[in-house]
């Protein structure tokens, strides 16, 4: 059976030399775009390739009419599939994503592979810290794999756009859940986007609340209880954050909990607040 949500460091260590497994290092710093690549060069899980949030998992070109699409807009699906082939991903590949930020960026890649229709993708539970806690080795040599042949399949995810979110404001049939830190949700201490606040009616579920104190994800039953206290049904919810990355952490937590069907708003707050005509709420 493939790994489709999480994998432990011990299980990954047993398969890290398997030619059919593709391991991707997603470490990143939102305020320093070179930090992840520098960390990768200093030491990574053997066989891992580097996946950059800004270039491999985003396409920052403007929309068709030149509109701003957010800080990390999704690339075209076919372009992302080409990136997967460059990494050596085949139809039967087991893909593992990891970072050192509690899954903050690895979850985005997990979601994107599912968006491309690839089910066999999991996040390293506990991240690089869990690997190192077992005394497992790191490598510093770059990795190159033979080109993969993965092809598109029906998406295992759903998305909504800014017009859908606006329509939901007029007729609220879905619960919008914001994954940002509580202070940013309230409109305080905003350093990444030009406007502080949140989408009116949204609820706050800080992505770090999905984790235990040791950086591993909470048990499925606990996650299920916490999310069902927020939303009536997963298919009647929209996950968003600052730029469409950490919202995927909430989507991964919901998948672990068996709560499937929630949509991602990829543009998230960074796209929403770029138009002053869109309403902004502040406070809790």
Query: In the numeric block, which tokens belong to residue 127?
Result: 């991240």
> At 27, is the secondary structure helix, strand, or coil?
coil
Which H/E stretch holds residue 15? helix 9-15
Residues 26, 241, 248, 273: which is the catalytic one?
241
Indicate if 248 belongs to the active site.
Answer: no
| Contact in structure between 241 and 180 (CB atoms under 8 Å) | yes
Query: In the numeric block, which tokens belong to residue 64?
Result: 């068709």
Give just the sign of the alpha carbon dihedral 64, 117, 83, 59.
Answer: positive
> At 240, is the secondary structure helix, strand, or coil?
strand
Determine whether 20 is exposed, middle or buried from the number of CB atoms within 10 Å of its CB (0-12, 13-18, 19+): exposed
Total residues belonging to the chain: 284
Query: In the numeric block, which tokens belong to residue 38?
Result: 């520098």
Question: Residue 142's beta-bridge partner residues?
Answer: none
Residues with catalytic roles: 241
């Amino acid at each position: 059976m493939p790994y489709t949500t999480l994998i432990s460091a011990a299980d990954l260590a047993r398969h890290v030399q398997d030619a059919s497994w593709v391991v991707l290092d997603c470490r990143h710093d939102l305020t320093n775009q070179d930090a992840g690549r520098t960390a990768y060069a200093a030491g990574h899980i053997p066989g891992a390739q580097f996946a950059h949030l800004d270039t491999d998992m985003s396409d920052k070109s403007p929309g068709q009419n030149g509109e701003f699409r957010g800080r990390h807009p999704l690339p075209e699906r076919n372009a992302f599939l080409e990136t997967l082939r460059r990494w050596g991903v085949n139809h039967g590949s087991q893909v593992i994503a990891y970072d050192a930020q509690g899954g903050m960026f690895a979850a985005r890649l997990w979601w994107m592979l599912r968006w491309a229709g690839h089910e066999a993708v999991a996040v390293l539970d506990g991240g690089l810290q869990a690997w190192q806690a077992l005394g497992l080795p790191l490598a510093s040599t770059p990795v190159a794999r033979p080109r993969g042949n993965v092809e598109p399949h029906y998406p295992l995810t759903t998305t909504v756009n800014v017009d859908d979110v606006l329509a939901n404001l007029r007729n609220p049939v879905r619960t919008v859940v914001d994954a940002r830190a509580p202070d940013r949700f309230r409109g305080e201490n905003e350093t990444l986007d030009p406007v502080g606040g949140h989408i009116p009616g949204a609820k706050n579920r800080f992505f770090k609340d999905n984790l235990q104190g040791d950086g591993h994800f909470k048990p499925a039953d606990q996650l299920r209880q916490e999310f069902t206290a927020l939303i009536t049904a997963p298919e009647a919810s929209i996950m968003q954050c600052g730029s469409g990355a950490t919202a995927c952490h909430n989507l991964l937590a919901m998948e672990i909990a068996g709560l499937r069907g929630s949509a991602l708003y990829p543009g998230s707050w960074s796209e929403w607040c770029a138009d002053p005509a869109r309403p902004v709420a502040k406070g809790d």
